[in-house]
Amino acid sequence: MAPRKIIIDTDPGQDDAVAILLALASPDEIEVLGITAVAGNVPLSLTAKNARIVCELAGQTGVPVYAGCDRPLIRPLVTAEHVHGKTGLDGPVLPDPEMPLADGHAVDFIIETLRKHDSGTVTLCPLGPLTNIAMAFRKAPDIVDRVQEIVLMGGAYFEVGNITPTAEFNIHVDPEAADIVFRSGRPIVVMPLDVTHKALVTKPRNDAFRALGNKVGIAVAEMTDFFERFDKEKYGSAGAPLHDPCVTAYLIRPELFSGRHVNVEVETRSELTMGMTVADWWGVTDRAPNALFIGDLDADGFFDLLTERLGRL
């Protein structure tokens, strides 16, 4: 089977970095057409830089990286340096990128790519706030039906929230954008906190990254060392959750994940619960299902896959 064509929309972020590395290490299954940066974990200037740092770490400087929206559709930007550090990629010492940003705006790249390829052959993989994707859908409504699938990290139901008591960061930062995406009518797969909080980098798993001995394995181990202090303190968990790599792992081995096809709507009005993903997990409404909402994963299978692939870079 031909590899699946994807665009990674991202706000790196250590876990974004691992998600990108996993994709770039898996050319038999995934063809990365381009990477589009968005403001999120850190401001756009840093996410656009970090995306290129990650491509260079993977030795793949031919992947075009575009800068996109520098703020949410209508709200001021909220960032998460308290989790990811000042650079967004705190942990390893990595050189500034030499590869330039690609010319043009990320939103136009998304539009042109969807128009250029056969309808139904390009999957969008948002790993940050959904601003770029929503802007593209608004600017060029003709592309919406051309999207094969949207596989995204965001939201929560049982885990409720991480940036507010009821909202996950990516959705909270730009709830209006998330609302546009969830109403798009395209097939959506959601990796909420409910599953990503089960993808924990325990010490033996991080030791396995380090033991790969290559530049990538050591950098990922060092990113995790930094990233884990936040979740260990907050949740008392056994290690850092690898949120975004759930998206790229799903593209390679969907059988590692399980969930329910349910209705998911985004709260955009209540200041108290802004950005909450209201998932009808128990089927108590007659609202039509619009997303496969993932709830569980085979964590050992996930980390076996990830470690094996990082070893290829």
Question: Interacting stretch for Ca ion, rule CB under 5 A, among 15-23, 178-186, 199-207, 253-261?
Answer: 15-23
- Least distance to Ca ion, CB of residue 223, Å: 13
Judged by CB under 5 A, how many residues of this single chain contact Ca ion?
6
Question: Is the Cβ of residue 17 or residue 216 nearer to Ca ion in the bound state?
Answer: 17
Question: Interacting stretch for Ca ion, rule CB under 5 A, among 4-12, 140-148, 271-279, 286-294?
Answer: 4-12
User: Which is the catalytic residue, given 84, 105, 172, 243?
Assistant: 243
- Least distance to Ca ion, CB of residue 40, Å: 6
Main-chain phi, psi angles of 123, to 5 degrees: -105, 135
- Residue carrying structure tokens 């885990």: 159
Question: Interacting stretch for Ca ion, rule CB under 5 A, among 9-17, 80-88, 171-179, 303-311?
Answer: 9-17
Main-chain phi, psi angles of 110, to 5 degrees: -60, -45
- Least distance to Ca ion, CB of residue 127, Å: 4
Question: Is the Cβ of residue 244 or residue 280 nearer to Ca ion in the bound state?
Answer: 244
- Least distance to Ca ion, CB of residue 139, Å: 23
Whether residue 35 contacts residue 8, with contact meaning beta carbons closer than 8 Å, is answered with yes
Among 4, 13, 137, 155, binds Ca ion (CB under 5 A): 13
Question: Is the Cβ of residue 39 or residue 212 nearer to Ca ion in the bound state?
Answer: 39
- Is 243 known to be catalytic? yes
- Least distance to Ca ion, CB of residue 244, Å: 5
Scanning residues 115 to 154, which ones bind Ca ion (CB under 5 A)? 127-128
Whether residue 147 contacts residue 114, with contact meaning beta carbons closer than 8 Å, is answered with yes
Question: Is the Cβ of residue 51 or residue 127 nearer to Ca ion in the bound state?
Answer: 127
- Integer Cα distance of 12 and 48 in angstroms: 8
Question: Is the Cβ of residue 13 or residue 241 nearer to Ca ion in the bound state?
Answer: 13
Structure tokens at 171: 């959705």
Per-position b or e across 92-121, b if 16+ CB within 10 A of its CB: bebeebebebbeebbbbbbbebbeeeeeee
Binding mask of the shown chain, residues 68 to 107, with x at each position contacting Ca ion by CB under 5 A: ----------------------------------------
Query: Can residue 16 be called a binding residue for Ca ion (CB under 5 A)?
Result: yes
Question: Interacting stretch for Ca ion, rule CB under 5 A, among 16-24, 64-72, 135-143, 252-260?
Answer: 16-24
- Least distance to Ca ion, CB of residue 79, Å: 12
Question: Is the Cβ of residue 229 or residue 261 nearer to Ca ion in the bound state?
Answer: 229
Binding mask of the shown chain, residues 223 to 262, with x at each position contacting Ca ion by CB under 5 A: ---------------------x------------------
Site of interaction with Ca ion (CB under 5 A):
11, 13, 16, 127-128, 244
Report, as residue numbers or ranges, the catalytic residues.
243
